[in-house]
Structure 1
Amino acid sequence: MKIGPHQLKNNLIVAPMAGVTDRPFRVLCKRLGAGMAVSEMVASNSLLWGSEKTIRRGNHEGEVEPKVIQIAGADPEMMAEAAKYNVDSGAHIIDINMGCPAKKICNVAAGSALLKDEALVARIVDAVVKAVNVPVTLKIRTGWSKDNRNALAIAKIAEDHGIQSLAMHGRTRACMYTGDAEYDTIRDVKQSVKIPVVANGDITTPEKAKFVLEYTGADAVMIGRAAQGRPWIFREIEHFLATGTHLPPPDAREIRDVLVEHLNDLYAFYGLERGLKVGRKHIGWYTKGLRNSAVFRSRMNTLETAGEQLVAVEHFFGEILAHSQQLEYEDEVALAA
């Protein structure tokens, strides 16, 4: 897949997720097979650009190119200024967020709430595209409610105003993350535009990725929640798409090593105190469903230093390794989750 001048190594993209797709997570996913990763959304309000959170979200030091910054807001001029600011700071691609369903974003008429106002969508896209000399992409949902799926209209606006790639989550804004993603709308959009289309939503296995690519005709798939605690999903999908066969799942030793590497990167990126807290949710995702993991996670949340956290992780996996390389899950439901 190609976006502007940027040829991606494959068609597997890490979805932007607030509180998740920070630099350590993006770097890890790219190392384990992702062709591109999109940052957490950065506010278009210039008053926030100097904040620690915004600076961190825009930090792509040492990351494999292209560096993609997602911006969020509802004012065309502010969005244009945010795009210019982030390009000046090193972004290779600007992504516009019109897909986030979170109330705090939609309540300020940003994210997927923008889908209600097609004229405003056009003004924002036009302003951002004209403001920068790098590719601009757009992330949307299928519409703002099941009775108002207007993705076809939005896609046409995007293409007409210079958007170079369109990512679509197969749910409406009203659906949030409930129910199943639907791919008919994504297929219809792909057939209606010439720009690359990226399918997103409920892509949790190599088989599902293959199905979605074939059913929709999409140029790429975007994976979010399924990569939490499972960043190797990208290499698994890449291998399956190329060969039709499965890679062996990671054993306990590799999962431990990946998790420890991830935690150390978080400590370095956030500092020990904040890194400890961010690390807790990742540990929960990596160990979800593993035998005795509930007790382990409960204890994990009481630890107060990064050193204690690392020792606890090493001990948990050490017990698994002492018994077997094979991971034991509590039940099939936990494994599937």
Structure 2
Amino acid sequence: MKIGNIELGDFPLLLAPMEDVSDPPFRALCKKHGADLMYTEFISSEGLIRNADKSVQKLDIYDYERPIGIQIFGDKIESMREAAAIAEAAGPELVDINYGCPVKKVACKGAGAGILLDLPKMQKMTEEIVKQVSLPVTVKTRLGWDDSTIRIVEVAKRLQDVGIQALTIHGRTRKQMYKGVADWTKIAEVKNHPDIHIPIFGNGDIDSPEKALEYRRKYEVDGIMIGRAAIGYPWIFNEIKHFFETGEKLTPPSLSDRVEAAREHLVFSVEWKGEKQGIFEMRRHYTNYFRGIQNFKPYRTRLVTSESFEELLQLLEEISQEFSDTHILLPQ
């Protein structure tokens, strides 16, 4: 399966762009454990054209991550066009447009999922971005704003007509946020529509190899995007691939595997963001790295309160000595 000239294999597994999560340290681990295509955190078009430090830093990509897409968002067509050019200059394999973010500060200003209330503007914005860049342009979106505004087949047709080369659909509306169950039947309607010819990726609720295989067969999408299930558990990509190939589940990561992944993540996070910010942003990951470990709460508290890089490295070493695989009660 290809997006433009980007070869992704028969059934690619994509890492979702997640704000304050999908940064280079996290992406490094997901790539190591089997992600086929990854995206940056979403980047504000206004921040890019104004050269804001936070937005510009998110353009950082590394050769080992390839293929990778840079995702942008915004509500102004001209700003998005300019931001797409800046993103292209950073050297990714593709440019992705965020038409799915549900958070209030984005969607209620007409960006992200907010643009699903104005399909002509969505189409025009996409057309201008496709014209601006020479790289493939893709889109990630939701089913609609709410149940009464689901026009996802029309959305897909409009976007395909102006030249996007792949579409990822999260099977929830903006109103749902991340609650309820993702509706993959509507994703399948797009995939199986006779007028749709671009690759369609499904997103939402994939948290196990069994579910990934079930949804692959049932909804016939071209690939799956994984988001929250990969946080603190990058092994999920190779676990799914192994299950596809053999019908058997890989042995879950051991305690030493978890400690080593957390250490790698922490070291890269501090190198990339500096000690203070790197330590702070790692805190959201520890719960997932060490999920299901018996009597772990005191260590978790220390992990999320320590402000010292050296202390955290020592604490991870202590965890590796204190616990063993027998303490892991539940697999991810």
TM range (shorter): over 0.9
Q: Does 1:70 align with 2:68?
A: no
**Mean Cα displacement is larger for which, 51-60 or 172-181?**
51-60
Query: TM-score, normalising length from structure 2?
Result: 0.95
Name 2:260's counterpart in structure 1: 257
Q: What is the Cα deviation at residue 174 of structure 1? A: 0.5
- Root-mean-square deviation (CA, aligned residues, Å) is 1.4
Q: What is the Cα deviation at residue 288 of structure 1? A: 2.5
Contact 1:112/1:140 (CA < 8 Å) preserved in 2? yes
Q: In 2, Cα distance between the equivalents of 1:41 and 1:154?
A: 21
Q: In 2, Cα distance between the equivalents of 1:2 and 1:242?
A: 20
Q: What is the Cα deviation at residue 47 of structure 1? A: 6.0
Q: In 2, Cα distance between the equivalents of 1:143 and 1:53?
A: 29
Contact 2:17/2:41 (CA < 8 Å) preserved in 1? yes
- Structure 1 counterpart of 2:238, one-letter code: R
Q: Deviations over 1:188-225 (max 9, x none)?
A: 00012110000000000001111111121100000000
- Structure 2 counterpart of 1:73, one-letter code: G
Q: What is the Cα deviation at residue 49 of structure 1? A: 4.8
Name 2:24's counterpart in structure 1: 23
Name 1:316's counterpart in structure 2: 319
Name 2:38's counterpart in structure 1: 37
Ranges of 4+ aligned residues in structure 1 off by more than 3 Å? 46-49
Contact 1:251/1:327 (CA < 8 Å) preserved in 2? no
Q: In 2, Cα distance between the equivalents of 1:294 and 1:119?
A: 51
Partner SS state of residue 291, structure 1: coil
Q: What is the Cα deviation at residue 46 of structure 1? A: 5.1
Contact 1:49/1:55 (CA < 8 Å) preserved in 2? no
- Structure 1 counterpart of 2:182, one-letter code: A
- Structure 1 counterpart of 2:118, one-letter code: D
Contact 2:34/2:238 (CA < 8 Å) preserved in 1? yes
Contact 2:48/2:83 (CA < 8 Å) preserved in 1? no
Q: What is the Cα deviation at residue 327 of structure 1? A: 4.1
- Structure 1 counterpart of 2:41, one-letter code: E
Name 1:3's counterpart in structure 2: 3
Query: TM-score, normalising length from structure 1?
Result: 0.94
Q: Deviations over 1:314-334 (max 9, x none)?
A: 21232113xxx34423xx5xx
Q: Does 1:115 align with 2:108?
A: no
Name 1:328's counterpart in structure 2: 328
Q: Does 1:285 align with 2:288?
A: yes
Q: Deviations over 1:62-100 (max 9, x none)?
A: 333222100001112211111111111212200000011
Name 2:57's counterpart in structure 1: 56
Name 2:207's counterpart in structure 1: 204
- Structure 2 counterpart of 1:272, one-letter code: E
Name 2:13's counterpart in structure 1: 12
- Structure 2 counterpart of 1:231, one-letter code: P
**Mean Cα displacement is larger for which, 195-204 or 260-269?**
260-269
- Cα separation, partners in 2 of 1:32 and 1:47, compared to 1, 3 Å: closer
- Cα separation, partners in 2 of 1:85 and 1:261, compared to 1, 3 Å: same
Unaligned runs of 5+ in 2: none
Q: What is the Cα deviation at residue 268 of structure 1? A: 0.7
Q: In 2, Cα distance between the equivalents of 1:327 and 1:121?
A: 51
Contact 2:233/2:289 (CA < 8 Å) preserved in 1? yes
- Structure 1 counterpart of 2:163, one-letter code: G
- Structure 2 counterpart of 1:90, one-letter code: G
Q: What is the Cα deviation at residue 254 of structure 1? A: 1.3
Name 1:133's counterpart in structure 2: 134
